[in-house]
Amino acid sequence: MERCKLLPMRHQRLSPPDDRNSLLHSSLPEPVHASRKARWFFNPVTGWFRRLERSANHFISRQIYPRITGLHRIYDTILRRRLTVAESEIGIRGLGSGFHGLRILLISDVHCGPFISLDVLADTFRRSMALKPDLILLAGDMATGRGEELSRCLPAFRELQAGLGIYAVLGNHDHYTGVPEQVCRNMEDAGIIMLQNRHTILQMGGDRLVLAGIDDLAFGRPDLNQALAGKPEHLPVVLVSHNPDVFFDAARSRVDLVLSGHTHGGQIRCPGLPVLVRMSRFRLDEGRYEAAGSELVVSRGLGAVGLPLRFACPPEVVLLILQPADG
């Protein structure tokens, strides 16, 4: 049940950057079996820790950090020097040949706000485009605590390019802004398609794949049934959900692959130890998990909250390459 504690630390074999603007690379480990045993003392909405964290975040991100000049310099430097591409091939049953080798770029928890400058975010996205993704998925928390933070960063999101499109769902912080509809409008203005409790069909040649998304589990109005309603039977299904705790319900609904963020991988960690602050009820902290024939990928995310720092847990984007599971 403490399986996550046995997870090896990732990013132990990083390839060094060629220069200041290069990306570090690492491989995601093989999937770990996920246990549905929930932490009984952890309630993501009404638990004392989460209420305290939410209140502190509201106050600090709205009243304190915006008044500190140059605060972005710290995290800008971390992004420039430590941005890592975590890569993995993912096998999906029944994947049509048109999707073999499909390159999905998963970007989560950008957290636009006082910690990241527009220039560095745009540069980060521009560098990520060297990975030549076919499909880009934004797994929520584009904003941190205010709607204006995202509006200011829209030019950076316009750097993202992918032939099959760019899709997004909302995270808890997008709801903390108090204007989630504005967050959706901003994303759509930047050419990004919102997948709030709905799905779309992706087509490559004669093959099809269901891409679904749901609202944030804790502070939105998530509806997995609605997201999957009316989808064609027997097609592979990929679901984007900010919060990974939807995994077991998704697996029961025969979703093949769930892509999430939210946990930040702990953000500030002691090397070699489990995460200090867990955001998942089921200890789905980072990396790959499997259960009931489904797989989950949890990204550490790109940005930061609380403090403009990461330690033993670099910012990341995730590059997934789809392959047939039986091939």
- Of the pair 76, 141, the CB lying nearest Fe ion is at 141
Radius of gyration of the chain measured on its C-alpha atoms: 18
Least distance to Fe ion from the beta carbon of 94, Å?
A: 32
Least distance to Fe ion from the beta carbon of 144, Å?
A: 8
# residues contacting Fe ion (CB under 5 A): 2
Neighbours of 20 (CB within 10 A): 7
Stretch in the footprint of Fe ion (CB under 5 A) among 32-40, 138-146, 147-155, 310-318: 138-146
Least distance to Fe ion from the beta carbon of 264, Å?
A: 6
Tokens of 9: 């630390």
CA–CA separation, 130 vs 108, rounded Å?
18
Handedness of CA 39, 44, 47, 53 (dihedral sign): positive
Phi, psi angles (nearest 5°) of residue 138: -100, 115
Least distance to Fe ion from the beta carbon of 90, Å?
A: 23
CA–CA separation, 119 vs 161, rounded Å?
17
> Taking phi first (over 0 means left), then psi (-120 to 50 degrees means alpha), and beta for anything else, what does residue 165 get?
left
- Of the pair 134, 141, the CB lying nearest Fe ion is at 141
Beta strands in 54-206 (DSSP E): 84-92, 103-107, 135-138, 166-168, 193-194, 198-204
Binding to Fe ion (CB under 5 A) within 140-159 occurs at 141
- Of the pair 141, 256, the CB lying nearest Fe ion is at 141
Least distance to Fe ion from the beta carbon of 285, Å?
A: 13
Least distance to Fe ion from the beta carbon of 146, Å?
A: 15
- Of the pair 76, 109, the CB lying nearest Fe ion is at 109
First CA to last CA across the chain, in angstroms? 32
Asked if 286 touches Fe ion (CB under 5 A), the answer is no
56: CB partners within 8 A, 6+ apart: 306
The pattern of x and - marking residues 90 through 129 that bind Fe ion according to CB under 5 A reads: -------------------x--------------------
Stretch in the footprint of Fe ion (CB under 5 A) among 31-39, 40-48, 59-67, 135-143: 135-143
- Of the pair 228, 317, the CB lying nearest Fe ion is at 317
Binding residues for Fe ion (CB under 5 A) = 109, 141
